[in-house]
Amino acid sequence: DVKVTQSSRYLVKRTGEKVFLECVQDMDHENMFWYRQDPGLGLRLIYFSYDVKMKEKGDIPEGYSVSREKKERFSLILESASTNQTSMYLCASTQRGINSPLHFGNGTRLTVT
Protein backbone atom coordinates (compact mmCIF):
# COMPACT_ATOMS: atom_id res chain seq x y z
CA ASP A 1 0.00 0.00 0.00
CA VAL A 2 1.09 3.55 -0.72
CA LYS A 3 2.78 5.26 2.23
CA VAL A 4 3.98 8.81 2.75
CA THR A 5 5.29 9.39 6.26
CA GLN A 6 5.89 12.74 7.87
CA SER A 7 8.24 12.58 10.83
CA SER A 8 6.17 14.64 13.26
CA ARG A 9 2.44 15.09 13.69
CA TYR A 10 2.80 18.17 15.91
CA LEU A 11 5.73 20.55 16.42
CA VAL A 12 6.14 23.67 18.54
CA LYS A 13 9.11 25.90 17.78
CA ARG A 14 10.26 29.35 18.78
CA THR A 15 10.71 32.35 16.52
CA GLY A 16 14.13 32.32 14.91
CA GLU A 17 14.73 28.60 15.26
CA LYS A 18 15.80 26.50 12.28
CA VAL A 19 13.14 23.88 11.66
CA PHE A 20 13.36 20.66 9.66
CA LEU A 21 10.27 18.84 8.45
CA GLU A 22 10.98 15.39 7.10
CA CYS A 23 9.00 13.32 4.63
CA VAL A 24 9.67 9.77 3.44
CA GLN A 25 7.85 7.78 0.78
CA ASP A 26 8.21 4.08 0.14
CA MET A 27 6.83 3.94 -3.39
CA ASP A 28 9.95 4.84 -5.41
CA HIS A 29 8.19 7.99 -6.66
CA GLU A 30 10.18 10.53 -8.63
CA ASN A 31 8.12 13.60 -7.69
CA MET A 32 7.73 14.97 -4.18
CA PHE A 33 5.95 18.09 -2.93
CA TRP A 34 5.56 20.31 0.10
CA TYR A 35 2.30 22.22 0.66
CA ARG A 36 1.02 24.31 3.49
CA GLN A 37 -2.63 24.54 4.40
CA ASP A 38 -4.25 27.46 6.17
CA PRO A 39 -7.92 28.13 6.94
CA GLY A 40 -9.60 29.98 4.09
CA LEU A 41 -6.55 29.70 1.83
CA GLY A 42 -6.64 26.03 0.87
CA LEU A 43 -3.44 24.15 -0.05
CA ARG A 44 -0.56 26.21 -1.39
CA LEU A 45 2.52 24.71 -3.01
CA ILE A 46 5.83 25.67 -1.41
CA TYR A 47 8.39 23.58 -3.31
CA PHE A 48 8.53 20.43 -5.35
CA SER A 49 11.21 18.09 -6.63
CA TYR A 50 11.14 15.83 -9.68
CA ASP A 51 14.43 14.06 -9.04
CA VAL A 52 17.19 13.69 -6.51
CA LYS A 53 18.95 17.02 -5.92
CA MET A 54 16.41 18.80 -8.15
CA LYS A 55 13.98 21.38 -6.80
CA GLU A 56 11.49 23.86 -8.15
CA LYS A 57 9.77 26.77 -6.43
CA GLY A 58 6.05 26.64 -5.99
CA ASP A 59 3.69 29.51 -5.27
CA ILE A 60 5.04 30.54 -1.85
CA PRO A 61 8.74 29.58 -1.49
CA GLU A 62 9.80 32.63 0.51
CA GLY A 63 11.21 31.71 3.91
CA TYR A 64 11.62 28.05 3.00
CA SER A 65 14.22 25.81 1.43
CA VAL A 66 14.23 22.12 0.60
CA SER A 67 16.64 19.24 0.32
CA ARG A 68 16.39 15.99 -1.63
CA GLU A 69 19.55 13.95 -1.21
CA LYS A 70 17.82 10.58 -1.60
CA LYS A 71 14.91 9.63 -3.79
CA GLU A 72 12.67 8.60 -0.90
CA ARG A 73 13.25 11.63 1.34
CA PHE A 74 12.24 15.27 0.89
CA SER A 75 12.97 17.77 3.63
CA LEU A 76 11.45 21.19 4.15
CA ILE A 77 13.61 23.70 6.02
CA LEU A 78 12.51 26.87 7.72
CA GLU A 79 15.78 28.76 8.04
CA SER A 80 14.48 31.14 10.72
CA ALA A 81 10.97 30.30 11.81
CA SER A 82 8.45 33.11 12.11
CA THR A 83 4.96 33.19 13.56
CA ASN A 84 3.40 33.54 10.10
CA GLN A 85 4.77 30.09 9.29
CA THR A 86 2.44 28.53 11.82
CA SER A 87 0.47 26.14 9.63
CA MET A 88 -0.33 22.58 8.62
CA TYR A 89 2.41 21.25 6.34
CA LEU A 90 1.62 18.43 3.93
CA CYS A 91 4.06 16.31 1.98
CA ALA A 92 3.03 14.40 -1.14
CA SER A 93 4.58 12.20 -3.80
CA THR A 94 3.71 10.79 -7.20
CA GLN A 95 5.19 8.84 -10.05
CA ARG A 96 6.44 10.66 -13.12
CA GLY A 97 3.77 11.19 -15.74
CA ILE A 98 0.48 12.97 -15.96
CA ASN A 99 -1.66 9.94 -15.20
CA SER A 100 -0.47 9.29 -11.66
CA PRO A 101 -2.29 10.45 -8.53
CA LEU A 102 -0.68 12.41 -5.73
CA HIS A 103 -0.36 10.59 -2.40
CA PHE A 104 -0.28 12.67 0.77
CA GLY A 105 1.08 12.20 4.25
CA ASN A 106 -1.06 13.03 7.26
CA GLY A 107 0.58 16.38 7.84
CA THR A 108 2.67 18.18 10.44
CA ARG A 109 0.97 20.88 12.43
CA LEU A 110 3.67 23.43 13.19
CA THR A 111 3.21 26.18 15.76
CA VAL A 112 5.80 28.95 15.96
CA THR A 113 5.63 30.98 19.16
Q: Which position among 22, 50, 71, 72 is part of the footprint of another protein (CB under 8 A)?
A: 50
CA-closest candidate to residue 42, choices 77, 12, 87, 86: 87
111 binds another protein (CB under 8 A): no
Tell me how far apart the alpha carbons of residues 38 and 40 are, in angstroms, rounded to a whole number.
Answer: 6
CA-closest candidate to residue 12, choices 96, 106, 110: 110
96 binds another protein (CB under 8 A): yes
Q: Which position among 34, 48, 64, 74 is part of the footprint of another protein (CB under 8 A)?
A: 48
Residue closer to another protein by CB (options 18, 57) is 57
Q: Which position among 30, 63, 77, 86 is part of the footprint of another protein (CB under 8 A)?
A: 30
97 binds another protein (CB under 8 A): yes
68 binds another protein (CB under 8 A): no
Residues that bind another protein (CB under 8 A): 4, 30-31, 33, 35, 40, 42-45, 48, 50-51, 54, 56, 58, 90, 92, 96-99, 101-107
